[in-house]
């Protein structure tokens, strides 16, 4: 009889430890508050009391860990009555949505989900309503935020330098174009029709055009006093007969 009592007592103590271990393994989640520095080897269980509505479970892990997880949402601690799963295959499925028709106690299982079950690491987890789902910057860890700031600190000055160089090159090309051309007064028939009405009888600035200093075809020097105008903003080279285009501009 004494031996039987001892066995029963030992069985009761073992069952009690198992029960305590099971209960303690189910960490509490508070709606819209993130649990930090959670560590995953195989699986972790959580429980939360939630109001009716639409909810989203989010697991964020630094890329350093290369952690692959799957989230299971159930109405019982044994996860037999599943209401949502973040994925059905191997890989990383760190987010899942579900709806509750009434206030309920909900259980969450975060499982390691790689092909070879060989990933582990730290993560953050939370269950959020639609008004509190973390944005991009909120989902970043301190380490990831430092990396992002470092990248931006390098890229922004680089972009500014590239922009400044391009502007300086444009500023250099414009004077060069002016130096390679000459200003001449064109006759009325060399003025485009849409500018004819603005030409004054006493001589207008609208008759001033710009010609190349040298013929683009033969390279001969263009003399403004002997320009042969053949059409609107078109002149003929006196040496090779090639057509040169003039630029109409106000000065």
Per-residue pLDDT of 30-53, as tens digits, reads 999 999 999 999 999 999 999 999
* Distance of alpha carbon 221 from alpha carbon 152, whole angstroms: 52
Q: What is the pTM of this model?
A: 0.51
CB 127 within 8 A of CB 55: yes
> What pLDDT is attached to residue 24?
43
What are the structural domains, with CATH classification, of the chain? 25-142 (2.60.120.380), 179-248 (no CATH)
pLDDT tens track for 133-185: 886 555 555 565 566 677 777 788 888 888 777 776 665 554 545 557 777 77
Structure tokens at 94: 């760190």
137 class by beta-carbon count within 10 Å (0-12 exposed, 13-18 middle, 19+ buried):
exposed
In contact, 188 and 199? CB cutoff 8 Å: yes
Share of the chain above pLDDT 90, in %: 40
* Per-residue pLDDT at 214 exceeds 90: no
User: What is the average pLDDT across 115-136?
Assistant: 91
Of 131 and 247, more confident: 131
pLDDT digits (tens, 9 = 90+) for 63-107: 788 999 999 999 999 999 999 999 999 999 999 999 999 999 999
Q: Which among 16, 5, 117 is positioned nearest to 67, based on CA atoms?
A: 117
Contact (CB, 8 A) for 193 and 215:
no
The alpha carbon dihedral of 107, 76, 74, 62 has a sign of: positive
């Amino acid at each position: 009889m004494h031996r039987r009592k001892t066995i029963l007592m030992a069985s009761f103590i073992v069952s009690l430890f198992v029960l305590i271990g099971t209960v303690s393994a189910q960490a509490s989640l508070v709606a819209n508050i993130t649990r930090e520095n959670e560590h995953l080897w195989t699986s972790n269980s959580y429980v939360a009391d939630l109001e009716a509505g639409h909810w989203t479970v989010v697991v964020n892990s630094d890329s350093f860990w290369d952690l692959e997880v799957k989230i299971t949402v159930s109405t019982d601690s044994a996860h037999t009555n599943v209401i949502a799963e973040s994925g059905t295959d191997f890989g990383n499925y760190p987010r899942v949505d579900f709806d509750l028709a009434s206030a309920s106690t909900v259980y969450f299982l975060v499982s390691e989900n790689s092909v070879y079950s060989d990933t582990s690491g730290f993560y953050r987890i939370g269950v959020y309503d639609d008004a509190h789902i973390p944005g991009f910057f909120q989902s970043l860890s301190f380490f990831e935020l430092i990396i992002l700031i470092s990248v931006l600190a390098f890229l922004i000055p680089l972009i500014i330098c590239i922009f400044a160089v391009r502007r300086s090159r444009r500023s250099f090309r414009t004077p060069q174009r002016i130096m390679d051309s000459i200003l001449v007064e064109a006759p009325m028939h060399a003025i485009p029709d849409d500018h004819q009405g603005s030409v004054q009888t006493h001589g207008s600035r609208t008759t001033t055009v710009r010609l190349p200093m040298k013929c683009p075809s033969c390279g001969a020097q263009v003399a403004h006093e002997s320009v042969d105008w053949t059409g609107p903003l078109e002149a003929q080279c006196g040496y090779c007969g090639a057509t040169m285009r003039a630029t109409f501009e106000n000065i």
